[in-house]
Amino acid sequence: MSIFVDEKTRVVVHGLTGGQARFHGLRNRDYGTKVVAGVNPAKGGQGVEGIPVFATAAEAREATGANASFIAVPAKVAPGSILEAAAAGMEIVVCITEGIPAQDEARVYSDLRHNYPAVRLIGPNCPGIISPGKCNIGITAGEIALAGGPVGIVSRSGTLTYQALYELKQMGIGVTTCVGIGGDPVPGTGFVDCLAAFEADPETGAVMMIGEIGGTEEETAASYIAEHVNKPVVAYIAGVTAPPGRRMGHAGAIISGSKGTAGAKMEALAAAGARVANNPTEAGELMAELLRAL
């Protein structure tokens, strides 16, 4: 099995007719993802390499039975596309768009929570999600991931996600699902959502979690791991030597206190029982070690 997306996922690509969306949408189809439709308000009725294009996400869903949206449209219009996908009844919305204003992101998150609580938004500003061999929505190069599990990956960073997939593949270790949750202030899906899903997924035997400095999501994840996760977790946090991030006035310090540094996150995760690696290579090795012991 896998989490959130699999071979039954049917994807609508917003803006399939051009730019990033076309490039990545077609790559995802080449990987084997069921890309069933495109959306462009001005080009309904046209097609892209055999994929029908509809004016709205709702029409696309109606006509093709799509249940997921892939959004790679520019930042100015991405918030509207996310809400359109949710209103059309998509279960999963993957948004890779970077540069969305934080105020828009916060409003979209709140809107989804109030009006479309069942919709799972992944991103924005993320590499997407891949269940190797089944479904790839986003910009991950599918060939660097080995299918079949037993490792589930959740990561805030794009290139470190690739690095993790690659390290595991080098050692012959497969992945059930790899979720790039993105590094924006208000991600639709967080570490805890993914940890819960991996814990419940019978095919996932262990979880690799890749975090970064800033925010307190990793600390929250650590508490969750301590209380609810029985599967082994390997964690890596990037940014030990990073310069202290932009200080958000006193308010930032008041909210986060001593949290947010790489050291604090690593300590919290270790205290929660996770194996904490010092670099991506070590993370791969720790995972291999854990799997041998399972």
Residues that bind another protein (CB under 8 A): 24, 27, 75-76, 99-104, 106-107, 109-111, 114, 127, 139-141, 143-144, 155-163, 166, 183, 185-186, 210, 212-213, 215-217, 220, 236, 238-243, 246-255, 257, 262, 278-281
Which CB sits closer to another protein, 43 or 259?
A: 259
Which CB sits closer to another protein, 10 or 169?
A: 169
For residues 170 and 190, give the distance between their C-alpha atoms in angstroms, rounded to a whole number.
Answer: 27
For residues 75 and 96, give the distance between their C-alpha atoms in angstroms, rounded to a whole number.
Answer: 10
**Sheet with 120-122, edge to edge strand ranges:** 47-48, 51-54, 34-39, 10-14, 68-71, 92-95, 120-122
CB 132 within 8 Å of CB 174: yes
Q: Is 97 left (phi over 0), alpha (psi -120 to 50) or beta?
A: beta
Give the shortest CB-68-to-another protein separation in angstroms: 20
Give the shortest CB-90-to-another protein separation in angstroms: 20
CB 221 within 8 Å of CB 269: yes
For residues 137 and 155, give the distance between their C-alpha atoms in angstroms, rounded to a whole number.
Answer: 15
- Give Rg (Cα) of the chain: 19
For residues 66 and 55, give the distance between their C-alpha atoms in angstroms, rounded to a whole number.
Answer: 14
Is 14 labeled as catalytic in the residue annotation? no
DSSP classification of residue 15: T
Which CB sits closer to another protein, 15 or 158?
A: 158
CB 83 within 8 Å of CB 58: no
- Residue 41 exposed, middle or buried by CB count within 10 Å (0-12, 13-18, 19+): exposed
Which CB sits closer to another protein, 55 or 75?
A: 75
Give the shortest CB-117-to-another protein separation in angstroms: 13
Give the shortest CB-244-to-another protein separation in angstroms: 11
Pick the catalytic residue from 14, 24, 114, 250.
Answer: 250
Which CB sits closer to another protein, 53 or 225?
A: 225
Q: Is 148 left (phi over 0), alpha (psi -120 to 50) or beta?
A: left
Residue with tokens 């590499």, as numbered in its chain: 127
Give the shortest CB-187-to-another protein separation in angstroms: 9
Which CB sits closer to another protein, 105 or 201?
A: 105
Give the shortest CB-63-to-another protein separation in angstroms: 30
Q: Which residues are catalytic?
A: 250
